[in-house]
Amino acid sequence: MNIGDAAKASGVSAKMIRHYESVGLLPGASRTEAGYRQYGAKDVHVLRFVRHARDLGFSIAQIGELLALWQDRRRPSRMVKSLAEAHIAELQRKLDDLVAMKATLEQLVHCCHGDDRPDCPILAGLAGEATAPAGSAGEAVRVHGEMPGR
């Protein structure tokens, strides 16, 4: 099948198929006499694997490791589990960062009157000009640099 057919069958765009070939996740495709790439069912299966791994947020390097393990029928599952657990920890760190960013922004929005006044704690916070009071505890929320608790 040509690259367009492989893209449709795998759910991966032709552009990304070329990229995955260039970074080594997909072996170089065979070519027709006219130079068009040709793919088989195995290639589509690999592309679906890559797409699912990307959907879960794995990096290209991590997907390379997972592909190698997937293709090694004698691999110990503990290696796969270890990679997945490390990725879960990475996702949790990112989630924690997002929660902290959301809390900071919510506090800035809470402090902004949103009326005709020119002063705006949101803009002041983004400019690093001030800190905004954080809730009833009276602690300050930093709006530049590190988030609280890090």
pLDDT at 28: 87
Domains for the chain: give ranges and CATH numbers: 3-71 (1.10.1660.10), 94-141 (no CATH)
d(CA 136, CA 118): 26
Closest CA to 83 of 56, 65, 70, 57: 65
Q: Which tokens is 138 given? A: 């009276």
CA torsion through residues 90, 94, 99, 101, sign: positive
Q: How confident is the model at residue 14 (pLDDT cuts 50, 70, 90)?
A: very high
Instruction: Produce one character per residue of 79-95: b if its CB has 16 or more CB atoms within 10 Å, e if not.
Output: eeeebeeebeeeeeeee
d(CA 106, CA 139): 15
pTM value? 0.75
User: pLDDT tens digits for 23-58?
Assistant: 999 998 999 999 999 999 999 999 999 999 999 999
Q: How confident is the model at residue 149 (pLDDT cuts 50, 70, 90)?
A: very low
The total of other beta-carbon atoms located within 10 Å of residue 126's CB is 13
CA torsion through residues 118, 141, 100, 147, sign: positive
User: pLDDT tens digits for 79-122?
Assistant: 999 999 999 999 999 999 999 999 999 999 999 999 998 999 99
Q: Which tokens is 97 given? A: 């960062």
Closest CA to 1 of 34, 33, 41: 41
SS3 27: coil
